Amino acid sequence: MSATSDQAHSVVAPSGASKTIAGALVIVYALVTIIPLVWIVMTSFKTPPDSIAYPPKLIFTPSIEGYCNLFTTRTRQTPEYIAALPPAETECDRVVRSRNMVIAGPSNVIPRFINSIVIAFGSTFLAVFLGTITAYGFSRFKVPLADDLLFFILSTRFMPPIAVAIPIYLMYRTIGLSDTQLGMILLYTAVNVSLAVWLLKGFIDEIPREYEEAALIDGYSRLHAFVKVVLPQAATGIAATAIFCLIFAWNEYAFAVLLTSGTAQTMPPFIPFIIGEGGQDWPAVAAGTTLFLIPIFVFTVLLRKHLLRGITFGAVRK
Amino acid sequence: MTETSAKASIADRVAEATPPTVARRVRSLSDRAIAWLFISPTIALLLAINIFPLFWTIYLSFTSYKANRPNAPIVWLGTTHYENILSDPDIWHSMQVTAHFVFWTVAIETVLGFALAYLIDRRFRGHAFWTTVILIPMMLSPAVVGNFWKFIYQPQIGLFNYAITFFTGGDPAAFQMLGEVSLAPWAIVLVDVWMWTPYVMLICLAGLRSIPDYIYEAAEVDRASRWRQFWSITVPMALPFIMLAVLFRGIENFKMFDMVNLLTGGGPGSTTETASITLKREAFESWKTGYSSALAIILFVAVFGLANIYVKALNRVKQR
């Protein structure tokens, strides 16, 4: 809203005092709601004893022990053995030795992270590709039973994930897709494609048909016009849709925990099982959580303008 | 002038008389071909990954199949599983747990989300930034964040107990959010409200912004009080949006699995065992595949049926 229209509508514009009160209340809510996230990041820089201290420590000496523990497996050794070792090369070596342990090797976190990346990007690419062409098909051509097909595509989202997981588990076991990246990519693609079709149909509907018709008159084929005219016009919509698919695949837990156990396991089912000596190693869990959440922060900021559309399957467009 | 138009009309008549050119026929043919070429891969994928498994589930729900004993003979049981499920008090208990969870999360999120949207719509300085901050929780993985809430809820060392006792002055070891029958259902409601209030807020905000200023101006001219304006303009006009938010949250929370599974796993006892947790236990721990398939179908029909009734109501509100 521009300044002039603000003045023109001054009779209904919120007063200064009500603005201040509203702002204060919203900021208080935002600060309270962000505490758990700040706590995660803070815990990731604590030592294990600091993390379970009472009262909870707000001020502490930052340590990278959580991150060291996240990325390594360690074995306990005698002080004599550790004293006999050559001087510690890295900060992690030093931190681990101070607890009478030595680094035995890398942990599983890097392969799990790679799985998350491969599965999220693979399924996003497929879902957006299929979603774009299908949305274009529904948007521009008279498809028999179009509304029924679109509803069918949406209705696949009503299934509780566990209900889908039962037959998928049996099917994948039969055809050898259990615990494979390909299996998870196909599954996430199927879940995401309904979102992609609905969102992208909205975006493509907004592109004037005249652009393509002009290209068709100029002698372009349909396919050529689609690639050269429609795709560039829909680029923002495609990018927003891709980020939504990426976030879903990145965050997904139910399928991942039921259908993967090792080779194709992603981060969400892995993080809760980061354990240290005598129970959960909370700084390491917090470190894994922090690294896992960072991409989502970035995406949320990038997506701000399209969030509403994405979360309502294009039902609300603003 | 008349000459040219006469010529044109002759040309038109000739064009009408002759059949469409070959080129045009090829183009219109290829249009249909492209339409199917573009749509069929998606339909095929959904048939393979969603619909075929659905029919398989329906078939299994009538049998004694157990996934951990694939070679055992499959016995056709008819509707036995359905009868057992619908008369099983444990299932009704988990339905009650689910209903409690869905009702309270949706109710609190709607009130809180609408209030926040109403405040943000005052357009105070910096509202865009604070809106983005508020939105962050809903973008995060419910599983990963749910897992971390378990740490926050720890008795004695957890931040939550500390904060409560800091203000009330009790003993931080005196209560366990996740370990007590009376508190655990509220612990999961609280985390869900924390995560998903921004979702409702965002949709409500769109609703509030869709109300044109001139309606308020007219009300102002008629000297309607602020209170009156709120209940006669703001709420009714934002209602379709609020109902949409309720629909989406209702469906999602009915299916809720990840956050609850990591926070409580259904415990203590079965106080927080929502339908999805029961389903997972029967299907992947007891391996009662046939039985759990029947439960899955019942849940699917319930969500689908309730959502359909609700959408009808929503459309009626929209048409008003």
A83 contact B CB<8A = no
Same domain, A100 and A244: no
Task: Identify the DSSP state of B76.
Answer: B
Q: Would you call A167 and B53 a contact, using CB atoms and an 8 Å cutoff?
A: yes
pLDDT score for B62: 93
Task: Identify which of B196, B187, B197 has the alpha carbon closest to the alpha carbon of residue B272.
Answer: B187
- Beta-carbon contacts of A244 under 8 Å, excluding residues fewer than 6 positions away, are A192, A195, A199, A303, A310
Same domain, A170 and A151: yes
Four-residue CA torsion sign, A295, A298, A301, A304 = negative
Residue B194 lies in a domain: yes
Task: Identify which of B152, B216, B284, B252 has the alpha carbon closest to the alpha carbon of residue A10.
Answer: B216
Q: Which domain holds residue B131?
A: 84-319
Q: Would you call A33 and B137 a contact, using CB atoms and an 8 Å cutoff?
A: yes
Q: Are strands A275-276 and A279-280 parallel, antiparallel or unpaired?
A: antiparallel
Cβ of B125: how many Cβ atoms within 10 Å?
A: 10
Select from A9, A119, A253, A302 the residue whose CB has the most chain B CBs within 10 Å, as the one to mutate to test that interface. Answer: A253
Single out the residue in A107, A136, A162 at which a domain terminates. A107
Residue A243 lies in a domain: yes
At A218, give phi and psi (nearest 5°). Answer: -70, 0
Q: Could you report the per-residue pLDDT of A76-134, keeping only the tens digit for each?
A: 888 888 888 888 888 888 888 888 888 888 888 999 999 999 999 999 999 999 999 99
Residue of chain B whose Cα is closest to the Cα of A294: B140
CATH number at A260 reads 1.10.3720.10
Task: Identify which of A195, A232, A193 has the alpha carbon closest to the alpha carbon of residue A212.
Answer: A232
Chain B residues with CB under 8 Å of A251 CB are 140-144
Q: What's the CA gap between B275 and B253, in Å, rounded?
A: 10
The pLDDT of A204-211, averaged and rounded, is 89
Residue B21 lies in a domain: no
Q: What's the CA gap between B208 and B306, in Å, rounded?
A: 27
Same domain, A78 and A200: no
Task: Identify which of A269, A273, A256 has the alpha carbon closest to the alpha carbon of residue A119.
Answer: A256
Same domain, A80 and A186: no
Same domain, A145 and A218: yes
Residue B79 lies in a domain: no
Q: Could you report the per-residue pLDDT of A239-265, keeping only the tens digit for each?
A: 889 988 999 999 999 999 999 888 899
- The predicted complex's ipTM stands at 0.85
Compute the 3-state secondary structure of chain B and give helix, strand, coil in percent, each to the nearest 5.
Answer: 75, 0, 25
pLDDT score for A287: 93
3-state SS, residue A103:
strand
pLDDT score for B295: 93
pLDDT score for B107: 97
Same domain, A142 and A236: yes
Task: Identify which of A254, A255, A253, A162 has the alpha carbon closest to the alpha carbon of residue B280.
Answer: A162
Q: Would you call B120 and A22 a contact, using CB atoms and an 8 Å cutoff?
A: yes
The pLDDT of A162-186, averaged and rounded, is 90
Task: Identify the DSSP state of B158.
Answer: -
B50 contact A CB<8A = yes
Task: Identify which of A189, A120, A169 has the alpha carbon closest to the alpha carbon of residue B41.
Answer: A189
Cβ of B229: how many Cβ atoms within 10 Å?
A: 17
Same domain, A157 and A202: yes
Residue A224 lies in a domain: yes
Residue A30 lies in a domain: no
Task: Identify which of B208, B48, B185, B10 has the alpha carbon closest to the alpha carbon of residue A172.
Answer: B48
Would the pLDDT of A279 be above 80? no
Q: What's the CA gap between A122 and A21, in Å, rounded?
A: 47
Residue A275 lies in a domain: no
Single out the residue in A76, A107, A138 at which a domain terminates. A107
Residue A10 lies in a domain: no
Q: What's the CA gap between B299 and B303, in Å, rounded?
A: 6
B142 contact A CB<8A = yes
pLDDT score for A7: 42
A160 contact B CB<8A = yes
Residue B36 lies in a domain: no
Strands (E), chain A: 72-76, 101-106, 275-276, 279-280
Would the pLDDT of A6 be above 50? no
B209 contact A CB<8A = yes
Q: Could you report the per-residue pLDDT of B271-287, keeping only the tens digit for each?
A: 899 999 999 998 898 89
Select from B144, B204, B278, B295 the residue whose CB has the most chain A CBs within 10 Å, as the one to mutate to test that interface. Answer: B144
What total number of domains does chain B contain? Answer: 1
Same domain, A99 and A115: no
Find residue A101's DSSP bridge partners.
A76
pLDDT score for B9: 52
Four-residue CA torsion sign, B11, B13, B18, B20 = positive
Q: Is B21 exposed, middle or buried (0-12, 13-18, 19+ CB in 10 A)?
A: exposed
Q: How big is the CA angle at B253 (ends B88 and A270), to the nearest 5 degrees? A: 95
Q: Would you call B157 and A56 a contact, using CB atoms and an 8 Å cutoff?
A: yes
Same domain, A144 and A100: no
Q: Is A318 exposed, middle or buried (0-12, 13-18, 19+ CB in 10 A)?
A: exposed
- Give the residues of chain B that fall short of pLDDT 50: 1-8, 11, 14-15, 18-23, 25-26
Q: Could you report the per-residue pLDDT of A15-72, keeping only the tens digit for each?
A: 788 888 999 999 999 999 999 999 999 999 998 888 888 788 888 889 998 899 899 8
Q: Would you call A23 and B53 a contact, using CB atoms and an 8 Å cutoff?
A: no
Q: Would you call A162 and B300 a contact, using CB atoms and an 8 Å cutoff?
A: no
Chain A residues with CB under 8 Å of B216 CB are 12
Question: Under a CB-based contact definition with an 8 Å cutoff, are residues A30 and B143 in contact?
Answer: no
Task: Identify which of B190, B150, B112, B138 has the alpha carbon closest to the alpha carbon of residue A39.
Answer: B150
Respond yes or no on whether the N-terminal peptide bond of residue A56 is cis (omega within 30° of 0). Answer: no
CA atoms within 13 A on the CB side of A185: 14
Task: Identify the DSSP state of A143.
Answer: -
Q: For residue A278, is it left (φ>0), alpha (ψ between -120 and 50) or beta?
A: left
Residue A53 lies in a domain: no
Same domain, A90 and A120: no
Residue B33 lies in a domain: no
CATH number at B163 reads 1.10.3720.10
Q: Which domain holds residue A162?
A: 110-266+293-311
pLDDT score for A4: 39
- Beta-carbon contacts of B129 under 8 Å, excluding residues fewer than 6 positions away, are none
Same domain, A180 and A196: yes
Chain B residues with CB under 8 Å of A155 CB are 304
Select from B150, B151, B153 the residue whose CB has the most chain A CBs within 10 Å, as the one to mutate to test that interface. Answer: B151
Q: For residue A219, is it left (φ>0), alpha (ψ between -120 and 50) or beta?
A: left
Residue B270 lies in a domain: yes
Q: Considering only residues 169 to 198 of chain A, which have any Cβ-Cβ distance to chain B shorter than 8 Å?
A: 169-171, 186-187, 189-190, 193-194, 197
pLDDT score for A185: 95
Task: Identify the DSSP state of B294.
Answer: H
Q: What's the CA gap between A165 and A61, in Å, rounded?
A: 45
What total number of domains does chain A contain? Answer: 2
Residue B236 lies in a domain: yes
Q: Is A170 exposed, middle or buried (0-12, 13-18, 19+ CB in 10 A)?
A: buried
Residue B50 lies in a domain: no
